[in-house]
Amino acid sequence: MENNSNTSKIGWAALIIVSLSSFIIALDSTFMNVAISNLVVDLDTTVTFIQIIITVYALTMASLMLLGGKMQDVLGRKKAFIAGAVIYGIGTTIAALSVNSIMLLIGWSILEGMGAALMTPATASIITGTYSGKNRAFALGIWTALAGVGAAVGPLIGGFLTTFFSWRWGFGLELFIVIFVLALSRKLNYFPPTMKLSQLDKLGVLLSSFGILLFVLGILSLNSIKNWEIAPVMMGAGILLLILFYFREKRLINRDERPLTDIRLFKNRNFTLGTLSRMIMQLALAGAVFVLPVFLQQVTGSNAFETGLAILPLTIGLLVFAIASSRISTRISPHYLISIGFLIALAGSFFLRFQFNLNTQVIDIVPGTLLLGIGLGLALPLTADIILSSAGSDKQSDASGIMSTSASLGSSMGTALIGVVLILGTISGIYMAVDQSFPNEYSKEDIKQNLTFWNDKMKTTNITGLKANETSIAFTIVNTTISDAMKTAFDFVSIIFLIGFIISLYIKPLKRK
């Protein structure tokens, strides 16, 4: 039984605690994208490995989110939340002190991802278990808004700290908030466990977690031609495990045992299409937010703060229209608004496709990024409405878990897939340009390898045997190939939005009470 008796004594402490937690988790998903050049230099790594780090953060959350939701029932909501905050705090400490890219991967991607997977499902259920009536509606609104603000200001905060102080201070800021949250956590209500650890579907956890993990890592491994033979095997194995997970959950439901999640929800057309639409939006958004900073810092020479300012129209558009979408949906049906959102985002992506060249200025991409933000802001909150409205009141926990998992999965797939398109497009472009541009005094294979490595190091290292000033052939080749690869990357983003638009056309109107 949910404990509401102490609500008046707690006041808004519970709301402050869970909202701050959602804020830093959302902040974490965007604030390091603008620091790619600095991370490459400080940790002596490459763009490819930074892509892996960003992907694995969202991937860890996606693969463990269903387990994180069930751990509320096993440990109780408060204990699960606190355990997640402690793991997250350890992770952000390791990330702030990282001396190499492996340390950042362990601290940020894995430990913070694990902590976020435990905390995220608990934040919503703590609010619904603590507040009721108008207070609950108000609390859910603040909780959602702060998560949106975290994602929106992430690039700006990350850019400011990276440029004027250090990217490490971003993780330091998160650690400060985690300590504050843990200090206040004693004010949270106690929620008793509702199931035993022995009742947890452990095989379901393994099948779903490793299925998601293998599938996305298979996509990620495509960024190296050497892995092209193993990549389809990994993706196929991941899909097979997810199919086995589906039938495993179906069998448990038929036996009246406790599944990891109720897969019967996918029988509802709106639930399935809403979940797919949300995942597609997150995929396109994560892909765009990964490749834009690479272009801005490589070709236009923008620093981290300028990169954050360049992406700001996207995040402002997303935040403003996410807030406005609920009011607009009283006049235009939500399923129509989702389709309109996809079309506006598609227009923004199509516009951006033509902005990438050697003379691009930050101002040139502002209209496109603003359209992306407006389209996503209109549609994203309404997909949540479609998903949760399609599930009964007794299935809200399962529906929320699936929604969170699909969103994190979309983010990890977006960084992996669109990043792979950019990296492979740049490498193939460099190889073609070298064949056409360089005379025979150097080995062409040596030049190809050197330029490829130079590009992967964000031009922060010297190229053996070649001049590397900004008027050199080397600069022209790399900048031209990145610009061409960006066009291809945004062709993919546009195709993804088009697929999302077509899917959204089949969403049924919501039945309003």
* Residue appearing with tokens 């029988």: 267
- Predicted structure pTM score: 0.84
In a domain, 270, yes or no: no
Which of 98-102, 196-200, 432-436 has the highest mean predicted lDDT (pLDDT)?
Answer: 98-102
Lowest mean pLDDT among 199-203, 322-326, 428-432, 502-506: 428-432
Do 314 and 165 share a structural domain? Answer: no
In a domain, 327, yes or no: yes
pLDDT tens for residues 182-198? 988 888 777 787 778 88
Task: Give the 3-state secondary structure of residue 87.
Answer: helix
Q: What is the mean pLDDT of residues 107-117?
A: 91
In a domain, 76, yes or no: yes
Q: If pLDDT is split at 50, 70 and 90, which confidence band does 6 have?
A: very low
Residue pair 284/492 in contact by the 8 Å Cβ criterion: no
Query: Residue 333's closest CA among 283, 285, 270, 399?
Result: 270
Residue 409 reports pLDDT greater than 70? yes
Q: If pLDDT is split at 50, 70 and 90, which confidence band does 2 have?
A: very low
Residue pair 40/458 in contact by the 8 Å Cβ criterion: yes
Among candidate residues 197, 226, 245, the one where a domain is terminated: 197
Residue 131 reports pLDDT greater than 90? no
Q: If pLDDT is split at 50, 70 and 90, which confidence band does 45 have?
A: confident
In a domain, 216, yes or no: yes
Among candidate residues 177, 197, 217, the one where a domain is terminated: 197
Q: What is the mean pLDDT of residues 58-65?
A: 88
pLDDT for the residue 265: 85
Q: What is the mean pLDDT of residues 257-282?
A: 88
Among candidate residues 165, 197, 229, the one where a domain is terminated: 197
Q: If pLDDT is split at 50, 70 and 90, which confidence band does 74 have?
A: confident
Structure token digits, residue 132: 């009721």
Q: If pLDDT is split at 50, 70 and 90, which confidence band does 457 have?
A: low
Do 347 and 246 share a structural domain? Answer: no
pLDDT for the residue 245: 92
Structure token digits, residue 355: 């902005």
d(CA 155, CA 304): 8
Q: What is the mean pLDDT of residues 150-162?
A: 82
Residue 5 reports pLDDT greater than 50? no
Residue 454 reports pLDDT greater than 70? no
Do 337 and 244 share a structural domain? Answer: no
pLDDT for the residue 472: 63
Residue 469 reports pLDDT greater than 70? no
Overall domain count for the chain: 3
d(CA 59, CA 66): 13
In a domain, 264, yes or no: no
pLDDT tens for residues 297-348? 877 777 888 888 888 888 888 888 877 877 887 788 888 889 999 999 999 9
d(CA 260, CA 244): 13
Do 157 and 114 share a structural domain? Answer: yes
Q: What is the mean pLDDT of residues 123-141?
A: 73
In a domain, 5, yes or no: no
Q: What is the mean pLDDT of residues 420-440?
A: 70
In a domain, 1, yes or no: no
d(CA 185, CA 409): 29
Distance between alpha carbon 249 and the CA centroid of its chain, in Å?
Answer: 27
Do 38 and 176 share a structural domain? Answer: yes
Question: What DSSP string describes 11-56?
Answer: TTHHHHHHHHHHHHHHHHTTTTGGGHHHHHHHTT--HHHHHHHHHH
pLDDT for the residue 445: 60
Do 423 and 313 share a structural domain? Answer: yes
Do 332 and 224 share a structural domain? Answer: no
Do 248 and 149 share a structural domain? Answer: no
Lowest mean pLDDT among 6-20, 289-303, 385-399, 463-477: 463-477
Q: Which domain holds residue 161?
A: 10-197
Do 438 and 350 share a structural domain? Answer: yes
Lowest mean pLDDT among 127-141, 336-350, 398-412: 127-141
In terms of pLDDT, which residue wins out, 102 or 223? 102
Residue 437 to residues 188, 263, 448, 473: CA-CA distances in angstroms? 66, 56, 11, 8
Residue pair 7/131 in contact by the 8 Å Cβ criterion: yes
Residue 439 reports pLDDT greater than 60? no
Residues 210, 215, 220: CA angle, nearest 5 degrees = 120
- We report the CATH number of the domain holding residue 20 as 1.20.1250.20
Q: If pLDDT is split at 50, 70 and 90, which confidence band does 241 have?
A: very high
- The rounded mean pLDDT for the chain is 82
Residue pair 206/63 in contact by the 8 Å Cβ criterion: no
In a domain, 498, yes or no: yes
Do 238 and 353 share a structural domain? Answer: no
Do 472 and 378 share a structural domain? Answer: yes
In terms of pLDDT, which residue wins out, 148 or 265? 265
Do 252 and 359 share a structural domain? Answer: no
Q: What is the mean pLDDT of residues 94-110?
A: 91
